[in-house]
Copies of this chain bind each other. A is one copy, B any other.
């Protein structure tokens, strides 16, 4: 792409560094901002700068939070002995939306992925292991996505806490509620048969 303006080119180049945004989309966004009042651009950039400079993470679960201890971790009505291990804030939001989980979270901040240069030391793993070893937990639930990286991360943590004596579980994999069996992938369908539940137990959960 050849631009008639360096200012325009620089803005497009910066935006197109965001994941999933190519040069064409970046140009479309920039032209949109040009058509809007200048305030929209300053609101947008100010919100981004404030967020990046001042964002804080909960000292206990490492989730993004405006307070030193997040709302979930400081809620006395939640079960602080039950910890759900997730990748990032989006997973926390998704699980909170279900209204089915009354424990607390531990946000790793990513998954072990040598290809992306993410090793165990860049994730909040040691503080989780410490929590387990301090004896304050009864159960850890792994809720990472079931990819190679997710499984690697689960196993890496499992090795360090396996002999702690607490319950270590993982969220159920199976056919999604409302899905047709014939369109399910083989691995998921196979697992959902091997890990079948007593019918009475399944209807009780509804």
Name the contact of A55 in the complex, choosing from B8, B32, B52 (C-beta under 8 A): B8
Name the contact of A19 in the complex, choosing from B28, B41, B47, B96 (C-beta under 8 A): B28
Name the contact of A45 in the complex, choosing from B27, B45, B56 (C-beta under 8 A): B45
Is A93 an interface residue when CB atoms closer than 8 A count as contact?
yes
CB atoms of A48 and B44 under 8 A apart: yes
Number of copies: 2
Taking the nearest CB of chain B, how far is it from the CB of A84, in angstroms?
15
Name the contact of A31 in the complex, choosing from B7, B21, B54, B88 (C-beta under 8 A): B88
Q: How many residues of A are in contact with the other chain, CB < 8 A?
A: 60
CB atoms of B2 and A96 under 8 A apart: yes
Main DSSP-derived SS at the A contact region:
helix
Stretch at the interface among A58-66, A163-171, A191-199: A58-66
Taking the nearest CB of chain B, how far is it from the CB of A61, in angstroms?
10
CB atoms of B19 and A71 under 8 A apart: no
Is A180 an interface residue when CB atoms closer than 8 A count as contact?
no
Interface flags for A91-132 (1: CB within 8 Å of B; 0: not) read: 011001000000000000010000000000000000000000
**The 6 A-B residue pairs with the shortest CB-CB distance in the complex, in nearest-first order:** A45-B45, A11-B51, A41-B52, A14-B47, A14-B44, A7-B51
9 pairs of residues in contact across A and B, judged by CB atoms under 8 Å: A5-B64, A10-B50, A10-B51, A14-B48, A19-B28, A30-B48, A33-B48, A44-B48, A45-B46
